Structure 1
Amino acid sequence: MVSMFKVLKEQYDNFHLINRLAAYELKSANNNNYLGSLWELLNPAIQIAIYWFVFGFVQNRPAVEYGDGKYAFFPWMLAGITLWFFIYPSITHGSKSIYTRLKMVSRMNFPLSAIPSYVILSKLMPQLLLMLVTIIIFQFMGLPINIYYLQLPYFLVVTILFLFSLSLITSTISTIVRDFQMLVQSLMRVLLYTTPILWPIQDRFGEKLQLIMQLNPFYYLIEGVRYSLLGEGWFFIEHGWLTLYFWAIMLVFLFLGSYLHVRFRRHFIDFL
């Protein structure tokens, strides 16, 4: 518990520095590209087009029954996959954030726990832009802005908290065991297809298996954003048990990640 409060205090005390480093990270990531930051939209757009072609067009899925309504496959998929383009790079880059920046840290005075924070925060601006584009597209598809958009900030905040908690664990282990980074990347590719982002969870599975799949914390985040964008209801209230479960998992990850990070960070330089 002491480690958790210590790590959280480090984030608070270095908040302005984390913001500046996140802005620099985002700028440097696209500095050598002719199209620059435009790739933050082009790359997701290309992937979305491929997923729609394979899972929507090729599989001949014209519509999806979801919640109380029925939606064309494209907006249903888009409402869910938008957040994934924030989750995936945050985890894969966050897990290698510390060991790839140890030399930089040795010349600067700020806590190591701030590194996963600013790496994750650097992915937030493209996510907000992508979400804005998604909302604009929905206006032309007959899915106007609704009152349930008010829960979007909540899901963005808890997504950031969860990604930070998880990255504390993965970045610590990856610094000690570099092969772990490869395992993280492989698992994230699997999660794209096992989390109901590209297909409805009720398609081929019974209630018991659906319940097991809902225990995936990413399910709560993806479905929360999808519920909001499609105007299906207050997800965190209607699925209150999932909200309690998600917060319990996140607090466990934050406690474990903080403990591991504080316990081993004095030895990180030995693994350089």
Structure 2
Amino acid sequence: MTVATPSPSTAVETDTLVNVDDITIQFDTKKSSVVALRGVSLQIQRGEFIAIVGPSGCGKSTLLRAISGITPTTEGSVSLRGDQVVGPRQDVGFVFQRPALMPWRDVRRNILLQAEMRGMDRAEARERCEDLIQFTGLTGFEKSLPHQLSGGMQQRAALCRSLLHQPDVLLMDEPFGALDALTREKMNVEMQRMWRERDMTSALVTHSVAEAVYLATRVVVMGARPGHVVEEFTVNLPRERDYEETMEDPEFHRVAGRVRELLGSASSHE
């Protein structure tokens, strides 16, 4: 039997982890209909970090939820590793705006909740849990309850929980928005290190232009509702980024300036 050799285009396609193909999402109620997204197309390559920015209410979070399978599309399709997304996926991690930790569970047991929900092997899950606790600097706080942790530590625990099952893609919806400026900066540095060292494919929704450009390899700017992609920018900065040096880099200012210009234009048309 002859085995077909994949064509060059097929080989390239394997690098596309997420494919959002011309999706429209409409929410209907008895009294009205709201089109949250219209004609949105987006690809995320394996190992890429994209940041999605746009005016409030433009459907950024809805887009993430569509990728995860939480929110169905009205038109168009979303695929992950070539498989159409038709419901919540086991191979996606999601970090929400709030840590949503169980107040009666300590850090370790909050992280392991993921394993319980997914029926993971207990010994394997505990091993991964300890690795993530160490990697995120939570060693020594394993038995602490959420109210005993700072906001940054709570979000680290939530991040560990989302990574426990080793998802193909990590989706983050404004995960650092509720933190103070200094803690948010520290979490940005930690997130950049985790993405780099773990080679994670990541997508982040944020209202912070500086955060988007510092973390991402590509920034996607969306326009006012119905949400649509206005422009995308490749961020030509080193994979390993020092925070202070990046803030002074001409490439950072070039991309950030253009993003702010587009956001200002979008806001003026709301």
Q: Shorter-chain TM-score category?
A: under 0.3
* TM-score w.r.t. length of structure 2: 0.28
More strand by share: 2
* TM-score w.r.t. length of structure 1: 0.28
